[in-house]
Chains A and B, each alone.
Chain A
């Protein structure tokens, strides 16, 4: 590394080197700690350690060529400048995205609050009860509004939710039928994503008018849009029976606000409802992030994709929440998984749920009625002016005109984006009003449209037979937090139930829970970024265009690739997009027989799940005792499958946290038969500035921007999974049906650039660290992991080190021997860590019965020492069980975690003291985090699934 210390200890750097201020704030250890830590691990310098950890043959010879770092305030100014280049008009374009008023109490207390946005996915349920409760509210809201029986805790967006519904219907029908009907009234991006997802799995998509289609020809499912993309509210009851007659599922893409007034799909026979919950208070953000929703019937609950929150009980018999039915997930089912979705959109789902709580059913209905009445008034005015106006709508007015382009232009000049529907002998225009549409907006809009008279409301234009009669959101939570004081306190109560990065480090291996700096987060809320509809004309989004171009260039430089697609919304989607890009490349060369995907047995389960969705056959490749790919076995498989090899998926550094020496040879082997190498970039935090996927032989890799590049985990989403590709694959990157981008690949997300408003976080992260700072971050991440491995040496076995005895940026602690010596399982240790105020490391991945620790560069020595002290103290507690001085069943580990209620209870009857239970380490006297429930019984909840807050005690 250049310079004298990881923290950039030089006091005065020349101007050309830029500002190292942020680097000092982002990287935990300072120069003094660095020296002490190097002494502990026995390395002469940080560079000497890196030389031992990262094999010379994979190191890059070319330092990062990126702009010099800028300070936090310079970055804020630079992003404000880009935001100012975006023009925020009133966008009445609809298509699943609508203007919304984010309640300030939610913006400030949730979206902009690290207690919510820095939390991890709630796998450790006992320290996640707050956001689990919020997600239960979200599920209840979706289930109530759609009229279905069970909802999940969010999808990536509406289009992928629809594609997942198609997939589920395909499996429910046991893949006997292969034809799937799609309403031509669906949003174009939904149709595009469904087509993308259908082709590789052998599903034929038929697009048509559902009311004219002959359903006597069986389909395994029919996707309808309600209201349609042009706003038409249609009655589909007649065709539900026809689809059901052949056991097909009826899937309805819909709008939650409209459903406050429309008969919900569940009441007229739908089997699945999907959509976007964005208009419930989540900023447009030029396309995301937003939470897609998915609801279905109970009989399909085990085939439903995504995460589901369910109620169970804790060890004291008190109600407690956790993720239910987890065996549906890819880490268990691998290539048999029916979906590859991992990440949800927790932060955004929670915002939508809070919006529903804030307004309650009456408030939501009032918003809907206001929008619908104004739309009806607009329709009447258009009709009076002689336009032919479509009947039966909620908030979107469509009318015919010979001058669609002229009308749209004049409206734009007046500050409105309207949708030019173009098609047909005569043109037509659609105008989707929303919650933000004010009387003044209407006056200006009427003027732009040349309508006479003042805007008036009219009776909503919902057909009588489709008016909602049933009540909804009757649960207490939707009626309890009306004043801002009450709301603020409720949100705070939920927040403080959870352990996030603002409490202590979250050492999750493979998840990279690094700092999400305030300066990176603030621009997300700049109106120039948050207020843009994804389908505005590109000249209105020039600030974003500049930001995307810069970011794509930087990510290409970091990965060593020629091109980048920012479309994939999650790591799993990046995998899928990457494999599809490879598939298109092979097909373009006429090599359509390539259907084999080689995947090491150590790979994360999402890899095989993605491969199957991309139409590939998974062939596992063995790993040796060190977790490395068995090169001989790979050679045999490559020879055996030869010209049928499509791709190898490899994680680098390996899932075992080791830089495999043989990676170049592995890539060459696959290339030798014409296969492509997909590199899973989950562990990129060990590579930035040290080596490049493109240089070691990979053809594609995805980047988890929510791991390596500082986007927060949001308590379980959002994420971003852009892919980088070599030049020969660039022509086949994902495209988009509405806004031209990418290559000839199909769309994988609803929005052209995934979730743009959070890309500003990654932009700021790279801009503020600069080339040296980014490289130093990688180096410090590696030192921090090696420091932990060294401090725990002798007390825990560290599995899988590199050739020179070093780990990469994470280390695996083998706790399996403790099962034999003391009957202590890895869960017991994880739960006991909660009593010490820590989130457990990753459990049982990639090796069952182990803990994988990834500290990241952001944690300083003091925090690393606290974690190590906790783990060592727990090891001593286990030693007491081994020695027989602690009871084998009644000990602090078996009963962890301990709540305040349990410890203070008059009925304490354990063989150990209350003090030992709750205050086992000195720092707890300064700050004690209390889990709010005891250990949760997963089996009870999975046998009897409860996924709404009907039976949940009010908090």
Chain B
């Protein structure tokens, strides 16, 4: 089953997607591949607004019936918003992974975006299967 990998997003090697919004703010979610691997998502443990996060460090968790996946921060910065709708409807991530952002970060170092994968590179990673 081929995964959907939109061209206009950036990706991490841990299967998070990153969408640039206004200014230094990015929205983060998990990819189609990740939601498919996790299966039916039942809960998202969101971080707290105001938390300072560091790139590559664990930020929060997505829980399915069978597994728990940690989300790693794609970039460093401050959490400025969390998607509280996921509290009532965590399965939205299964239905629409790229429409279901989990948290937003105000980046402290926008250059860190250069460390992320573009769609082609992420697609390649999925095909390589690692």
A425 adjacent to chain B (CB < 8 Å) = no
B2 adjacent to chain A (CB < 8 Å) = no
Q: Whole-angstrom distance between the alpha carbons of A942 and B42 in the complex?
A: 6
Contacts known (A302-B43, A302-B45, A327-B63); A943 close to B68, Cβ less than 8 A: no
A sample of 19 inter-chain contacts (CB < 8 A) reads A302-B63, A326-B65, A326-B66, A327-B63, A327-B64, A327-B65, A327-B66, A327-B68, A332-B67, A332-B68, A336-B68, A938-B65, A939-B40, A939-B65, A942-B42, A942-B43, A943-B42, A943-B43, A943-B90
B40 to chain A: closest residue by CB: A939
Shortest C-beta distance, A311 to chain B (Å), equals: 14
Name the A residues within 8 Å of B42 (CB-CB): 939, 942-943
Name the A residues within 8 Å of B118 (CB-CB): none
Q: Whole-angstrom distance between the alpha carbons of A943 and B94 in the complex?
A: 13
Interface residues of A in 292-338 (CB under 8 A from B): 302, 326-327, 332-333, 336
Name the A residues within 8 Å of B16 (CB-CB): none
Contacts known (A939-B40, A943-B42); A333 close to B90, Cβ less than 8 A: no
B40, B42, B45, B91: which has the most chain A beta carbons within 10 Å?
B42
Interface string of A333-355 (1 = CB under 8 A from B): 10010000000000000000000
Interface string of A912-955 (1 = CB under 8 A from B): 00000000000000000000000000110011000000000000
Shortest C-beta distance, A874 to chain B (Å), equals: 22
Q: Whole-angstrom distance between the alpha carbons of A943 and B40 in the complex?
A: 10
Name the A residues within 8 Å of B66 (CB-CB): 326-327, 332
A942 to chain B: closest residue by CB: B42
Name the B residues within 8 Å of A939 (CB-CB): 40, 42, 64-65, 91
Interface residues of B in 15-72 (CB under 8 A from A): 40, 42-43, 45, 63-68
Shortest C-beta distance, B113 to chain A (Å), equals: 28
Q: Whole-angstrom distance between the alpha carbons of A938 and B63 in the complex?
A: 13
Name the B residues within 8 Å of A326 (CB-CB): 65-66
B89 to chain A: closest residue by CB: A943
Q: Is the CB of B91 within 8 A of A333?
A: no
Chain A count of residues within 8 A CB distance of the other chain:
10
Lowest 6 A-B CB distances belong to which pairs? A939-B40, A942-B42, A938-B65, A327-B68, A943-B42, A939-B65
Interface string of B65-100 (1 = CB under 8 A from A): 111100000000000000000000011000000000
Q: Whole-angstrom distance between the alpha carbons of A327 and B66 in the complex?
A: 6
B70 to chain A: closest residue by CB: A336
Q: Whole-angstrom distance between the alpha carbons of A939 and B39 in the complex?
A: 9
A residues bordering B, Cβ < 8 Å? 302, 326-327, 332-333, 336, 938-939, 942-943
What 14 new A-B contacts, CB under 8 Å, besides A327-B66, A938-B40, A942-B43? A302-B43, A326-B65, A327-B63, A327-B65, A327-B67, A327-B68, A332-B67, A332-B68, A939-B40, A939-B64, A939-B91, A942-B42, A943-B42, A943-B90
Q: Whole-angstrom distance between the alpha carbons of A942 and B40 in the complex?
A: 10
Name the A residues within 8 Å of B43 (CB-CB): 302, 942-943
Name the B residues within 8 Å of A943 (CB-CB): 42-43, 90-91
Shortest C-beta distance, A300 to chain B (Å), equals: 12
Shortest C-beta distance, B30 to chain A (Å), equals: 16
Q: Whole-angstrom distance between the alpha carbons of A302 and B42 in the complex?
A: 11
Q: Whole-angstrom distance between the alpha carbons of A939 and B95 in the complex?
A: 14
Name the A residues within 8 Å of B68 (CB-CB): 327, 332-333, 336
B58 to chain A: closest residue by CB: A336
A174 to chain B: closest residue by CB: B48
Name the B residues within 8 Å of A333 (CB-CB): 68
Q: Whole-angstrom distance between the alpha carbons of A336 and B66 in the complex?
A: 15
Shortest C-beta distance, A823 to chain B (Å), equals: 12
Name the A residues within 8 Å of B63 (CB-CB): 302, 327
Shortest C-beta distance, A427 to chain B (Å), equals: 53
Shortest C-beta distance, B72 to chain A (Å), equals: 14
Name the A residues within 8 Å of B64 (CB-CB): 327, 939
Name the A residues within 8 Å of B91 (CB-CB): 939, 943
Shortest C-beta distance, B124 to chain A (Å), equals: 24
Shortest C-beta distance, B84 to chain A (Å), equals: 14
Shortest C-beta distance, A719 to chain B (Å), equals: 25
B63 to chain A: closest residue by CB: A327
B69 to chain A: closest residue by CB: A327
Shortest C-beta distance, B129 to chain A (Å), equals: 15
Q: Whole-angstrom distance between the alpha carbons of A936 and B45 in the complex?
A: 25
Shortest C-beta distance, B7 to chain A (Å), equals: 31
Q: Whole-angstrom distance between the alpha carbons of A327 and B64 in the complex?
A: 8
Shortest C-beta distance, B110 to chain A (Å), equals: 28
A302, A326, A942: which has the most chain B beta carbons within 10 Å?
A942
A827 to chain B: closest residue by CB: B66
Contacts known (A302-B43, A302-B45); A942 close to B67, Cβ less than 8 A: no
Q: Whole-angstrom distance between the alpha carbons of A336 and B68 in the complex?
A: 10
B66 to chain A: closest residue by CB: A327
Q: Is the CB of A942 within 8 A of B65?
A: yes
Q: Whole-angstrom distance between the alpha carbons of A327 and B40 in the complex?
A: 12
A337 to chain B: closest residue by CB: B68
Shortest C-beta distance, B32 to chain A (Å), equals: 18
Shortest C-beta distance, B4 to chain A (Å), equals: 21
Q: Whole-angstrom distance between the alpha carbons of A326 and B66 in the complex?
A: 7
A324 to chain B: closest residue by CB: B42
B88 to chain A: closest residue by CB: A943
Name the B residues within 8 Å of A938 (CB-CB): 40, 65
B45 to chain A: closest residue by CB: A302
Name the B residues within 8 Å of A942 (CB-CB): 42-43, 65
B48 to chain A: closest residue by CB: A174
Q: Whole-angstrom distance between the alpha carbons of A17 and B9 in the complex?
A: 77
A848 to chain B: closest residue by CB: B66
A938 to chain B: closest residue by CB: B65
Q: Whole-angstrom distance between the alpha carbons of A302 and B65 in the complex?
A: 13
Q: Whole-angstrom distance between the alpha carbons of A336 and B67 in the complex?
A: 13
Name the B residues within 8 Å of A302 (CB-CB): 43, 45, 63
Q: Whole-angstrom distance between the alpha carbons of A938 and B65 in the complex?
A: 7
Shortest C-beta distance, B53 to chain A (Å), equals: 14
Q: Whole-angstrom distance between the alpha carbons of A943 and B64 in the complex?
A: 10
Q: Whole-angstrom distance between the alpha carbons of A600 and B68 in the complex?
A: 21
Name the A residues within 8 Å of B65 (CB-CB): 326-327, 938-939, 942
Q: Whole-angstrom distance between the alpha carbons of A938 and B90 in the complex?
A: 14
Name the B residues within 8 Å of A336 (CB-CB): 68
B65 to chain A: closest residue by CB: A938
Name the B residues within 8 Å of A327 (CB-CB): 63-68
Shortest C-beta distance, B78 to chain A (Å), equals: 17
Shortest C-beta distance, B25 to chain A (Å), equals: 25
Q: Whole-angstrom distance between the alpha carbons of A532 and B90 in the complex?
A: 51
Q: Whole-angstrom distance between the alpha carbons of A942 and B63 in the complex?
A: 10
Shortest C-beta distance, A253 to chain B (Å), equals: 28
Q: Whole-angstrom distance between the alpha carbons of A326 and B40 in the complex?
A: 13
B40, B64, B65, B90: which has the most chain A beta carbons within 10 Å?
B65
Q: Whole-angstrom distance between the alpha carbons of A332 and B42 in the complex?
A: 15
Q: Whole-angstrom distance between the alpha carbons of A327 and B70 in the complex?
A: 13
Q: Whole-angstrom distance between the alpha carbons of A942 and B39 in the complex?
A: 13
Shortest C-beta distance, A524 to chain B (Å), equals: 37
Q: Whole-angstrom distance between the alpha carbons of A333 and B67 in the complex?
A: 8
Q: Whole-angstrom distance between the alpha carbons of A333 and B66 in the complex?
A: 11
Q: Whole-angstrom distance between the alpha carbons of A302 and B40 in the complex?
A: 17
A943 to chain B: closest residue by CB: B42
Shortest C-beta distance, A320 to chain B (Å), equals: 15
Q: Whole-angstrom distance between the alpha carbons of A878 and B21 in the complex?
A: 50
Q: Whole-angstrom distance between the alpha carbons of A326 and B39 in the complex?
A: 14
Name the A residues within 8 Å of B40 (CB-CB): 938-939
Q: Whole-angstrom distance between the alpha carbons of A939 and B43 in the complex?
A: 10
Shortest C-beta distance, B67 to chain A (Å), equals: 6
Shortest C-beta distance, A172 to chain B (Å), equals: 12
Name the B residues within 8 Å of A332 (CB-CB): 66-68
Shortest C-beta distance, B92 to chain A (Å), equals: 11
Q: Whole-angstrom distance between the alpha carbons of A404 and B65 in the complex?
A: 58
Q: Whole-angstrom distance between the alpha carbons of A332 and B69 in the complex?
A: 10
Shortest C-beta distance, B10 to chain A (Å), equals: 27
A302, A938, A943: which has the most chain B beta carbons within 10 Å?
A943
Name the A residues within 8 Å of B90 (CB-CB): 943
